[in-house]
Structure 1
């Protein structure tokens, strides 16, 4: 991990999407954005309704075998199975 030369504090990890997060790595939801505009509002509204809102802590608990889709995701104290296309709509900031 790199750190700031002036303060020595670690740089925050780069934003990514939930589907790209490493298993068991904790992150914070930053935004919900659907690259497939046609279904974007419906999909992001559903994700917000089940708890994927900015500021919430998330982690991937498991991936199905062999393709890794769907994912078992922990948000708060709840667990959900999300398809990869849904997890790709959740922008996260991994914890350092």
Structure 2
């Protein structure tokens, strides 16, 4: 039976919400979802300030029970608890960023 991490890796370039990332699956922040920017502006700034920057490694390490809220997330070497809505704003990719990308 294929694992959840295998199904993510089989979708190269897949961009999904952090709240959708299977437990203990390695991924990288690709961007923050700014479609709802007016009401989430302060939240997006806070996510950037605490380290959810494009290219940062990220992993979901636990989910609350029974509603899977909050979500314990490791970004870099720090662990945070995010609400489902907050985690949905962080878009992740299974593909590691290219070193020395274009400016």
Please indicate the TM-score interval, normalised by the length of the shorter structure.
Answer: 0.7 to 0.9
More helix by percentage: 2
What TM-score, normalized by structure 2, do the two folds share? 0.77
Structure 1, residues 33-84: CA drift from partner, whole Å, max 9, x if none?
Answer: 1443332211110000000000000000000100000000000000000000
Larger Cα Rg: Structure 1 or Structure 2? Answer: 1
Unaligned runs of 5+ in 2: 1-5, 97-103
Q: Is the 8 A contact 1:34 1:43 kept in 2?
A: no
What is the RMSD computed on CA atoms of the aligned residues? 2.0
Aligned residues: 88
Compared CA separation, residues 77 and 39, structure 1 to 2 (3 A): same
What TM-score, normalized by structure 1, do the two folds share? 0.82
Name 2:77's counterpart in structure 1.
77
Name 1:46's counterpart in structure 2.
46
